[in-house]
Structure 1
Amino acid sequence: MSNGYFQITLPENEPVKGYLPGSPERAALKAELDRQLANPIEVPMIIGGKEIRSGNKAKMICPHDHQKVLGEYYIAGEAELLRAIEAAEAAKAEWENMSWEHRATIFLKAADLLTGKYRAKLAAACMLGQSKNPYQAEIDVICELADFLRFNPYYVQEIYKQQPNNSAGVWNRVEYRALDGFVAAITPFNFTSIGGNLPTAPAMVGNTVLWKPSSTAVLSNYYFMQILIEAGLPAGVINFVPCKGVDFGKVVVSHPKMAGFHFTGSTAVFNGIWNQVGANIDKYVTYPRLVGETGGKDFIFVHESADIEALTCAIVLGAFEYQGQKC
């Protein structure tokens, strides 16, 4: 048994590359864009660490050019979703009992793979599958996702360090454990970084997860799932199950062992999930924790000292950059 004391230092934000003319990152990205366009792929489900293919498939296309097909992905049905739940439950005990620093190393390794040898691959997939320009893809699927993978283990450490005060003759200690069941994660089309964060954040603290990626962001999400596996994520900890929302709701959200729901998407969908959980509340093993981020644009309050030209630029970008599909 290890008795070392391990500490993660406060990370630094991943530097943003500029993709300027003549730069090596620009050349690598252009080559990868050409490669992915010329080589459509087949994306399986990943359940219990195994690639699963069903009889139901859908195409992945470029939103900006519907004639360009990036490949096809397999769609999970009721049988595959139930299998994923079984895989999550089977992996739970060993994963939860793994030392937190060992879990953390997997995600820290994933960040290094993402920002290293797979940087061009993930950026190109985000550009082609979600219609982002090089700068938008860089700050999303590379820098922000890498920051999630590095800062979240640090924050896990800080949470675990929080302990109650002691009294005379008493040493009070708190141990943190995972939820009593699995976590369901539904992720959005507009940010691959959120796609990667919603399943990995609960996994870092010992939970096992069913991950339903957006049907219009499968490609980059799948490549990130491959990175997690290469980084050492054990089978069944995160199960990658592209599927129809109605099937996920019927099979997964209503399952007695769903202990957490992690979501970014529309307000209407989250309201529907909340209603569904309420209608099934007497069936659950525990009260599910619901975390949802939903859509909307903010008011802008401007101080009289503001730089009007910079403000105008920021307002236009906030409203219309990436077709207005940003938070």
Structure 2
Amino acid sequence: MATIEAPVRPAIRLHEGRFENEWLVDFTKEDNARKMRAAIDKVRGQLGREYDLIIGGKRIKTQEKIQSLNPAKPSQVVGIHQKAGREHAEPALQAALRAFESWSRTSVEERASLVFRVGDMLRERKFEFMAWLVFEVSKNWAEADGDIAETIDFCEYYSREALRLSKVTADAQLHGERDSLFYIPLGVGAVIPPWNFPCAIMAGLTLASIVSGNTVVLKPSSDSPTIAAKFVELLEEAGVPEGVVNFCPGSGSTFGNALVGHPKTRYIAFTGSREVGLDINKRAAEVPQNQIWIKRTILEMGGKDAIIVDADADLDAAVEGVALSAFGFQGQKCSACSRAIVDERIYDKFLDRLKARVEKITVGDPADNPNMGAVINEGS
């Protein structure tokens, strides 16, 4: 009788020392600029490929497709994706539930080791992933670098935090009791990230979930599904078991709502608009038949950020900071400076310098690394 060998689990390797942020790339160094140009050329040759849904490790094709387009060249197709519909919510949730049975019982050391490995692999391929951001969401090189560096940071930080939080504590002991405090995985999370940090936020919400022992149905933004597909490929290569992350691009109003309302969804992790976030909060508060818990929501719905400039501020530094914050990535960030509050004693001088600085901003194809690329879509 033939025997079926279990898949070999990668060796557990944990990173030592304190968390440190990933270093950003200095593109004034020609060697780094050359690596970035080479990565852009490599990714350009991979544009237009088709990507499947991934549910329980199985590749699934659909009749309807999502086309991801280069915002700077809308006729250029970055990726073609299967479009998950309402009918895919049930199999995706069931696949995640099946995986949860074993993944939630996997040691935190093994889960953290795996996420550390993802960060190591991403660090080796950071220029390639940066190039995908250049094409799919029109980030210039520095903005793409920041996105990928933050993704690596999440791999490092969340793994360390999972290990720290895994320790059982017993701070209070009452007579006649055995008291202990420990954290447990919740279940299946619906991860719904935005397009403006399509790697960092998408990966952050996903990695925090899985390193904690949860499983995920990932519905990336329809404007940026390709970078998510490449990241899921990286997770598979790193050894994430089938069903732990299920990749399902789809419409928010159909597939997304089906996920949010499903009785087996334990929590929803969302970043996006206030309108959609409040709708998710409302739907998640409803308790359908056969749901045995109250869903949890993690909702980040943007910001309205200001920079305050006092009379004794370094004006040149203040002008540079406001210009970069307000116009970096075309201002498409919840953290962008949308208003400057300036001391009236220096207001006119500040405004003149800011105007002169903004007039120097270059706009173009982010593959050529201007200050600004294109906004994400025609609606923007």
Normalising by structure 2, report the TM-score: 0.79
Task: Give the structure 2 partner of residue 289 of structure 1.
Answer: 296
SS at match of 1:209: strand
SS at match of 2:78: strand
Greater shift, 270-279 or 95-104, is seen at 270-279
Task: Give the structure 1 partner of residue 367 of structure 2.
Answer: none
Q: Is the 8 A contact 1:60 1:216 kept in 2?
A: yes
Q: Is the 8 A contact 2:119 2:156 kept in 1?
A: yes
Q: Is the 8 A contact 1:249 1:273 kept in 2?
A: no
Match of 2:157 among 151, 154, 162: 151
How far apart, CA to CA, are the structure 2 residues paired with 1:89 and 1:160? 22
Match of 1:264 among 271, 287, 290: 271
| Aligned-partner residue type, residue 28 of structure 2 | L
Mapping for residues 52-201 of structure 1, pairs under 5 Å: 52-116=60-124, 118-141=125-148, 143-161=149-167, 163-167=169-173, 172-179=179-186, 181-191=187-197, 192-201=199-208
Greater shift, 259-268 or 301-310, is seen at 301-310
Q: 1:303 to 1:281 in 2, by over 3 A?
A: farther
Q: Is the 8 A contact 1:111 1:146 kept in 2?
A: yes
Greater shift, 9-18 or 100-109, is seen at 9-18
Q: Is the 8 A contact 2:270 2:299 kept in 1?
A: yes
- Give 1:216 shift: 1.1
- Give 1:20 shift: 2.9
| Aligned-partner residue type, residue 158 of structure 1 | R
| Aligned-partner residue type, residue 282 of structure 2 | N
Runs of 4+ in 1 over 6 A off after TM superposition: none
Task: Give the structure 1 partner of residue 374 of structure 2.
Answer: none
SS at match of 1:69: strand
| Aligned-partner residue type, residue 140 of structure 1 | D
How far apart, CA to CA, are the structure 1 residues paired with 2:221 and 2:272? 9
Question: Could you list the per-position Cα deviations for residues 115-172 of structure 1 after superposition, in whole angstroms to 9, with x for gaps in the alignment?
Answer: 11x222211101110100111101112x100000001111122222361325478663
- Give 1:18 shift: 1.4
How far apart, CA to CA, are the structure 2 residues paired with 1:17 and 1:261? 34
SS at match of 2:155: helix
| Aligned-partner residue type, residue 152 of structure 2 | A
| Greater Rg over alpha carbons, structure | 2
Greater shift, 312-321 or 93-102, is seen at 312-321
Q: Percent identity among equivalent residues?
A: 32
Q: Is the 8 A contact 1:10 1:151 kept in 2?
A: no
Structure 1 unaligned spans of 5+: none
- Give 1:53 shift: 1.4
- Give 1:266 shift: 0.2
How far apart, CA to CA, are the structure 2 residues paired with 1:321 and 1:166? 49
Structure 2 unaligned spans of 5+: 1-11, 336-380
How far apart, CA to CA, are the structure 1 residues paired with 2:321 and 2:120? 31
Whichever structure has more helix as a proportion of its residues is 1
1:208 aligns with 2:215: yes
Question: Could you list the per-position Cα deviations for residues 280-315 of structure 1 after superposition, in whole angstroms to 9, with x for gaps in the alignment?
Answer: 366532111111111232133334432121111111
Paired residue total: 319
1:223 aligns with 2:220: no
How far apart, CA to CA, are the structure 2 residues paired with 1:50 and 1:95? 18
Q: 1:201 to 1:171 in 2, by over 3 A?
A: same
How far apart, CA to CA, are the structure 2 residues paired with 1:312 and 1:285? 54
How far apart, CA to CA, are the structure 1 residues paired with 2:290 and 2:283? 11
Normalising by structure 1, report the TM-score: 0.91
- Give 1:8 shift: 4.9
Q: Is the 8 A contact 1:187 1:265 kept in 2?
A: yes
1:308 aligns with 2:326: no
